[in-house]
């Protein structure tokens, strides 16, 4: 998308009716999904997952195992789609790319001093450049929540804009870390700033802070995307991450996306789940729906 390069172009964000959001989300959660639609939805969820390992104890062996199993998942189940991407630290990008690059699976890298974001701008730019130069297709950056909560909104805008410039052809996902923003009004304002600064996706969380991807937060961000699209004609993607570990919750999210944004957003180009364990449950549910019997969770370990 074309950036405005001007914080003053960001419109005033509307106030959020928290009770109204909770009532709307409760309706999404009460929907029943028929078996045919459920199976279609489960395949869709699997194809939208950014399979993730972001721990201080990550080793090349662990990343290699995750990537190999992501790339070869449908060797045993040929009718299944692949995951959308694997998400790793910058130091692991080259390794991940060498394993999944030929399988249509993207490599996403966190950057900007993930997860805290507490680093000087030159360090954040260097972090991002390193990931891109080593083959990252996507960058998941964190915003400076301390600056945002101090009211330094133009700083946050300029930071996102600068990282977008460094990304080149890599798509930029902007992590708001909604668990630290405290209110839905703040979530909406941060969403607006990120999109007008050039975000290709907005993302709820790092997965390190709770609460993370609640449906109330995701709904608020989806509404921001809807308003941005109505105003600019530009599609922006959405990535809830953190706490979505079962297929039922993922399917409720898809129902919400379809009703708020429409069918066009129901592809992995525009919607992702950030997860480490969701894929296991989705696979179990697919085989349960297909065969009528659950397999052991260990049988599907891919994280």
Catalytic residue check, 239? yes
Cα-Cα-Cα-Cα dihedral sign, residues 5, 174, 125, 85: negative
Catalytic residue check, 140? yes
Cα–Cα distance, 6 to 9 (Å, whole number): 6
**Sheet of strand 49-52, all strands in order from the earlier edge strand to the far edge:** 237-239, 201-203, 171-175, 138-142, 106-111, 85-88, 49-52, 273-275
**Active-site pick, 127, 189, 203, 281:** 203
Cα–Cα distance, 237 to 270 (Å, whole number): 4
Distances (CA, A) of 21 to 24, 28, 191, 217: 5, 11, 16, 9
Catalytic residue check, 38? no
**Active-site pick, 50, 164, 239, 281:** 239
**Active-site pick, 127, 137, 140, 281:** 140
CB 200 within 8 A of CB 172: yes
Distances (CA, A) of 190 to 45, 194, 228, 250: 26, 6, 13, 24
Cα–Cα distance, 30 to 19 (Å, whole number): 17
Cα–Cα distance, 181 to 274 (Å, whole number): 19
Residues designated as active site? 140, 203, 239
């Amino acid at each position: 998308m074309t950036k405005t390069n001007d914080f003053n172009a960001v419109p005033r964000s509307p106030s959020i009716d928290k009770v109204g959001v909770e009532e709307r989300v409760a309706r999404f959660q009460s929907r029943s999904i028929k078996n045919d639609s459920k199976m279609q939805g489960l395949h869709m969820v699997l194809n939208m997952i950014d399979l993730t390992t972001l721990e201080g104890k990550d080793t090349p062996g662990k990343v290699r195992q995750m990537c190999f199993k992501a790339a070869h998942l449908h060797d045993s189940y040929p009718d299944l789609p692949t995951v959308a991407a694997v998400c790793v630290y910058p130091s692991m990008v080259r390794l991940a790319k060498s394993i999944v690059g030929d399988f249509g699976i993207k490599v996403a890298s966190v950057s900007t001093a993930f997860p805290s974001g507490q680093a000087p701008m030159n360090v954040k730019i260097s972090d991002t450049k390193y990931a891109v130069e080593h083959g990252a297709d996507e960058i998941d950056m964190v915003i400076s929540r301390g600056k945002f909560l101090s009211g330094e909104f133009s700083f946050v805008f300029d930071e996102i804009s600068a990282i977008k410039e460094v990304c080149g052809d890599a798509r930029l996902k902007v992590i708001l870390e909604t668990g630290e923003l405290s209110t839905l009004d703040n979530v909406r304002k941060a969403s607006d700033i990120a999109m007008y600064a050039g975000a290709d996706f907005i993302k709820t969380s790092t997965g390190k802070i709770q609460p993370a991807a609640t449906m109330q937060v995701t709904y608020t961000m989806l509404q921001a995307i809807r308003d941005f699209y109505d105003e600019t004609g530009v599609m922006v993607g959405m990535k809830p991450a953190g706490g979505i570990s079962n297929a039922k919750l993922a399917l409720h999210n898809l129902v919400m996306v379809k009703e708020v944004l429409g069918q066009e957003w129901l592809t992995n180009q525009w919607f992702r789940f950030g997860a480490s364990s969701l894929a296991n449950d989705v696979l179990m549910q697919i085989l349960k729906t297909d065969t009528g019997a659950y397999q052991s969770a260990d049988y599907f370990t891919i994280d």
